[in-house]
Structure 1
Amino acid sequence: MMNFKLIYKNVRRSIKDYVIYFLTLALGVSLFYAFNSVSSQPALNDLNYSMEVFGDALVLYIGLLTKFIAIIFAFLIIYANQFIMKRRKKEMGVYMTLGMSKWRISSIFVGETFLVGLFALIIGLWLGFLMSQVISILALKMFVGNAVGYKLLLSIEAIKETILSFSIIFIIVALFNTRNIMNIKLIDLLIANRKNQELKVHNKWVTGILFLLAIISIFFGVLLLFKYGLDKDCLTGIVSLLGVGIVLFYYTISGVMILLVKKNKKLYFRELNSFLFRQFGSKMQINFLVMSILCALLTASLVVLGTGFSVTSSMNKQVTSATPFDLTIAQPYDDNIGILERAEQDGIPLKENLNDYAEIMLYNTGLTYGDLFKGQQIELSDLEQEILMSQVTFITETDYNQQLELLGERQIQLEENNYIINASYERFIKYIQYFLNNVGKVSIGDNELIPADKNVFDNIIYLTNSTMANDVGTIVVPDEMGSLMNSDSFLLNGIFSSQEIEGKVYKVMNNKWIEKSLDGSIYYVTKSVIQDTYFGVFGVVAFICSYLGIILMIVTLSILALQQLTETQDNKERYMTLSKIGADKKMINRLLYRQIGFYFISPLILASILSIFTTKVVLEKLEPFFEISIKQNMFVSFGIILLLYAIYFIATYQSAKQVIVDGRLK
């Protein structure tokens, strides 16, 4: 009972020492609960087959990631706990001087850690409950398409998993604390506050050369990243080059900064700047490896978090624009048996269930896309190179107008010997535009056609298994040209009255046509299947990226905050000396503000630069495949990052003031 009262009083008295520790624990608990509770939404348990696969994948990946992150948080909390132990070494020394046993001291500190952890667990679960509602709504929109099935609920399973994970972490921390306390010596506790590091002055020429090498390594690392991208054969070398550059940069930056600042006497001797720069330089020298790791973590966090949030925000717009029809069916031309007729023969109730449809014929003339782009410098992927060998698709004016009517677009009218080109695949449009501007002539039989409009039309002609706007180029010609071309295939696009009817018809098609689909004699896809696949892929990517990005950011900021608080504790006597020689409380607070600000910004500046280049390379890989514009949506993720940065900076600054002030500054 006596121990509990002492523990309670100690926690109340030292509550400001526990701010960063508490903040890290609470945020960790809230994220643990929020992401692990997603699978508890009833609507996510009633997904169709295609979406169920992605839902299961999401639960699996988040479960695995949670275990990995639990290990990271265990080390982080131990690191945070080290600051608290260091902050209170003198207090432990007093306890030992008064005759208290190490076991009892250990039990007091373990009790304090448990009490703060329990409070953080309660607050974290409450924040996690609020956060989980937002995340659940997002998950439903991704995997179900709407949030109609959303229910406000508390996930008991997620609570159990969160409590279990953090209980294990608390046990590890308690064992670590007990071991440390049992091994300490009284003299070390009593003189702990007097130990400080000194600024080592390196040879300025050596410092300059190493700094130059750092810049060169980073420059060539970025250059190779642009040239080879994420090529697995070159990635190790690129990462190694950037890693060496980052380490050398943080190893030498303090020396370069001191040399430059000393040349400006007015700046160096203003207020307490000489103390500020030397302290900052000293800590950068000592912690250059930690700063390098933090820079790498921040870079990864900026790229991963930015990608995750951008994917989420781009999703709905992309799917809506890419799926204007509910159904697309295509089959090769075969004895002039149309799609609707074949469906009727096979017992599929298609025509009677369609509200509107357009069944058209696609043609070819032997002209390939390679012929169309002849004479141009083509830069395409291996998969896109294969398209150059395929034949250009032709449609007659009447059939194209049927498509436009189904889309609700204005119809076209062609003059004799005129044509237009419809294309929506962005990477081919520039080559088509070049053809229209510089060549322009298309031959069908003995007829030579010229463009009616040199602009490329971008209407959706059919649905495919992806949401990419993938019409690489369809030539629309007058109706009389139809008899001069080769019939290639039938195409049907349709609109259903409801999603329920769409699902029923698709189920019948699957039963009747699955074998024909596998052997390539027919192709069919519905809007729901495309959306399910798209939302599933993007949903898993977005959730994992967002979760991992936020965790990496919290880990980085926690380490930055705890390091700065530890160093403030180390230099407490020096701040007292500044007070004694005339520096007032306002000046010291301003000094502390700048010192912490410099320390927080140091890894962020280089990380921001590297993340911009890395993100650009990632975009070049993602954007052609997923057809999204991540660049336009980066502001949201950077806003979240800056908000977390501000929260941790303010908490660190306030805690650091508490460390040095203690009511003793003038």
Structure 2
Amino acid sequence: MSLFDLTIRNVKRNFRLYSIYLMSMIIGVIIQYTFSSLMYNKDIIDALQNRELFRTGVAIASVVIFLFIIFFILYANSFFMRQRKKEFGMYLLYGLNERQLVRMIFYETLVMGAISLVVGILLGGLLSKLFGMLLMNLMQYDQVISLSFPIGAMATAAGVILLIALIVSAQSYILVNRVQLTELFHAKQKAEKPVRVSPVMAVLAVLLIGVALFLICSGQYSAVWQDYGVFSLIATAIGIVGGTYLFFRQFAGWLLQLISRGRKYHEGNTVLWTSSLRFQIRGNTLNLTFISLFSAVIVMLLCFVTINYKVQFEAVGRNVPNSIAYESLDSATNQKIDEMIKGSDHDIHYHLKPEALVVEPVTERGIAFDNPEYYVPGLWLISQKDYNELIGLRGDKQKVELKGMEAVALSQGSDFPKRYSAGETPDFKVKAVGEKTFTIVEKKDYAYLGWATDPVLSMDKKPPVFVISDEAYGQLSGGTKKKGFEIYGLSDAKNAEELSKQVHGMVVDHNKAAYYSSFADIYSKQIESSSLLLFAAGFLALIATFALASVIYFKQLREATDERLQYAILRKMGIHNRQFRSVIRKQLLFVFLPPIVLGMLYSWTIIKYYILDSVTDFPELPGIVWSIIGVFFFIYLVFYVSSANLYYRIINQNP
């Protein structure tokens, strides 16, 4: 009988054992094919404005997804190989050498890989259509996505399967060669030793976690972070990492020890599930610590990109509030641009022609603007009348009422907007018909003109705008340099990319230094990039969650296999199946619940105090964050129920 015939017989004879591993490979192919096929889908590519950015983003995300899949498959394979060590010992005893054994494993992986490839591509094709529609919905594009099976995506999936077969073979070769033959027969008989626990270390675990949470909850603007930022960061990191490790290594063991000393310890089935867990702490500590920390990182990443996506729609409008705005040119050019806009598919809601006084600041601009290096040089003064007229057309509640030498600084994007009370108003001197001093009554996070944009290069710099009273504007307008502007409000401004390119071309042909800003230049780039980021992060989070949950899943299945003999003895002693189910549920709950609770606790506190508190204008965001956390809990619940049922079936098999 050839090795290939032996491989086929193994797969047929042990299909139940192979099915767990096969399912892991199918899931891996589905994920890889579903995501990579988006890059080859013609309908998606045709709908995008920034195709190269999309291809680059998908390519990078595909590599990260591939690494997660490799981790997932290798961990599943380690469980699979452990269950077959006795079988491998028999093959070696009957004359097969290590190379032949590894070649047989390679053939097995190829056979299961071929099955996974066919099933994964068929299911992945359906899912790619679904996820393509989801991506278009995120980008708010009305594009029909057809069902397709791109050759490039199928070739990528086949390459992934071949690479997995090679890596699995190498892993199996190392596994077989680094142990003795007798160890293969007795591999399952090795038992973990209980960890020595200390009440002091258990209390230290709680203190470390408590200190870390206290520092996080104090907020980024608190004195401890402002004055001792580096120290606080180090203390928080030590508290989270060290506290989590000691929590599972010492606190969990101490808690189990405390339970074992209770009066009712020998009542019910408490003694069964606690004694088993005490022996598993040593082997589970690193896994549970890693799962807690990494799940926190995953949730924070997903929540951050989700918040970024939700905020982005309004943020684009805040950064670039005008459909098209540019510095006035000569009359003939302005007329040509006006005719071009009128001849487009976009209706003109309004067309304003305000002016601004160009002056030189004497006072440091940092008083009026956060991050003044992001603004073009000088200072532009807008009259209250022109400002309020545009704000009224936008429908914003940002109008101002000024008198004398009062001014409002439009510090767009400011983290610290402020309306000054009497006696706190700062003075600001400018050179305009001599030196003039304005009193800043408010630093407003608002844009009158918005960032200068380019259809290709995106955003450039912001104009430094003061709104001043009409009285002050009239006094200074006589001998001060002026700039005129053409501001258009258009219908369906987000789809005016082509019009913006044409207008921008005419503006820069006449004056390369002229101010130009268009909502469409930023909208497609920002929305497509944030949508792709959210989509990729969601994919990565889903894969990582399954990978982390599978670490617990396969670890528990491995321990269930090792404990079949003990459960068989308990069954002979009269323990019923109902009690076995109760013991298994409590034992696995103690393993599944703490890491996900700790991980979600870390992620929520960081998100709450460092992200949500900075975007209070969006009341729906906390609900979105809790929904994401709820989905994570649900996925872990599914794994918990599944592993409990499979654990029960395994212990009911003959040891």
**TM value normalised by structure 1:** 0.77
State how far apart, in whole Å, the 1-side matches of 2:303 and 2:211 are: 25
The answer to whether the 8 Å contact 1:396/1:479 transfers is no
Equivalent residue for 2:26? 26
Measure how far apart 1:640 and its partner are.
Answer: 3.5
Structure 2 gap ranges (5+): none
Secondary structure at the counterpart of residue 311 of structure 1? helix
Measure how far apart 1:157 and its partner are.
Answer: 0.7
Q: What does the per-residue CA deviation read over 1:67-98, in whole Å, with 9 as the maximum and x for residues that have no partner? A: xx33x53344233222223234455566778x
Secondary structure at the counterpart of residue 14 of structure 1? helix
Q: What does the per-residue CA deviation read over 1:201-226, in whole Å, with 9 as the maximum and x for residues that have no partner? A: 34x35544653674477458758995
Change (3 A) 1:580 1:526: same
Change (3 A) 1:242 1:83: same
Q: Residue type of the partner of 2:489?
A: I
Secondary structure at the counterpart of residue 493 of structure 1? strand
State how far apart, in whole Å, the 2-side matches of 1:458 and 1:308 are: 23
Q: Residue type of the partner of 1:294?
A: I
Secondary structure at the counterpart of residue 165 of structure 2? helix
Secondary structure at the counterpart of residue 132 of structure 1? helix
Measure how far apart 1:276 and its partner are.
Answer: 1.5
Secondary structure at the counterpart of residue 594 of structure 2? helix
Q: Are 2:625 and 1:638 aligned?
A: no
Secondary structure at the counterpart of residue 287 of structure 1? helix
Question: Alignment partner for residue 86 of structure 1, among 63, 82, 87?
Answer: 82
* Aligned pairs for 1:52-91 within 5 A: 52-66=51-65, 69-70=66-67, 72-90=68-86
The answer to whether the 8 Å contact 1:29/1:124 transfers is yes
Question: Alignment partner for residue 578 of structure 1, among 570, 583, 592?
Answer: 570
State how far apart, in whole Å, the 2-side matches of 1:176 and 1:448 are: 75
Change (3 A) 1:303 1:647: same
Secondary structure at the counterpart of residue 448 of structure 2? coil
Q: Are 2:274 and 1:255 aligned?
A: no
The answer to whether the 8 Å contact 2:545/2:632 transfers is yes
* Aligned pairs for 1:270-281 within 5 A: 270-281=267-278
Question: Alignment partner for residue 289 of structure 2, among 268, 288, 292?
Answer: 292
Change (3 A) 1:167 1:231: farther
Equivalent residue for 2:653? 662
Q: Residue type of the partner of 2:420?
A: Y
* Aligned pairs for 1:30-429 within 5 A: 30-43=30-43, 45-46=45-46, 51-66=50-65, 69-70=66-67, 72-90=68-86, 99=94, 101=96, 112-140=108-136, 146-148=141-143, 150-177=145-172, 180-181=175-176, 187-202=182-197, 204-205=198-199, 207-208=201-202, 211=205, 214-215=208-209, 218=212, 222=216, 226=220, 227=225, 239=237, 242-262=240-260, 264-266=262-264, 268-319=265-316, 325-329=322-326, 331=327, 338-339=328-329, 341=331, 343-344=333-334, 349=339, 352-353=342-343, 355=348, 356-363=350-357, 383=371, 391=379, 393-397=381-385, 399-404=386-391, 406-407=393-394, 425=412, 427=414
Equivalent residue for 2:12? 9
The answer to whether the 8 Å contact 2:363/2:428 transfers is no
Change (3 A) 1:386 1:32: closer
In the alignment of these two chains, the number of paired residues is 633
**TM value normalised by structure 2:** 0.78
The answer to whether the 8 Å contact 1:218/1:246 transfers is no
Question: Alignment partner for residue 553 of structure 2, among 554, 561, 570?
Answer: 561
Measure how far apart 1:164 and its partner are.
Answer: 0.5
Measure how far apart 1:534 and its partner are.
Answer: 1.3
Measure how far apart 1:55 and its partner are.
Answer: 2.4
State how far apart, in whole Å, the 1-side matches of 2:148 and 2:228 are: 42
State how far apart, in whole Å, the 1-side matches of 2:88 and 2:263 are: 44
Secondary structure at the counterpart of residue 362 of structure 1? strand
Sequence identity, in percent?
16
Q: Residue type of the partner of 2:13?
A: N
Equivalent residue for 1:377? none
Q: Residue type of the partner of 1:434?
A: Y
State how far apart, in whole Å, the 2-side matches of 1:39 and 1:232 are: 42
Mean Cα displacement is larger for which, 254-263 or 581-590?
254-263
State how far apart, in whole Å, the 1-side matches of 2:445 and 2:592 are: 48
Change (3 A) 1:602 1:63: same
The answer to whether the 8 Å contact 1:194/1:570 transfers is yes
Measure how far apart 1:591 and its partner are.
Answer: 1.1
State how far apart, in whole Å, the 1-side matches of 2:615 and 2:228 are: 14
Give the alignment's Cα RMSD to 1 decimal: 5.0
Question: Alignment partner for residue 538 of structure 1, among 517, 523, 530?
Answer: 530
State how far apart, in whole Å, the 2-side matches of 1:51 and 1:500 are: 14
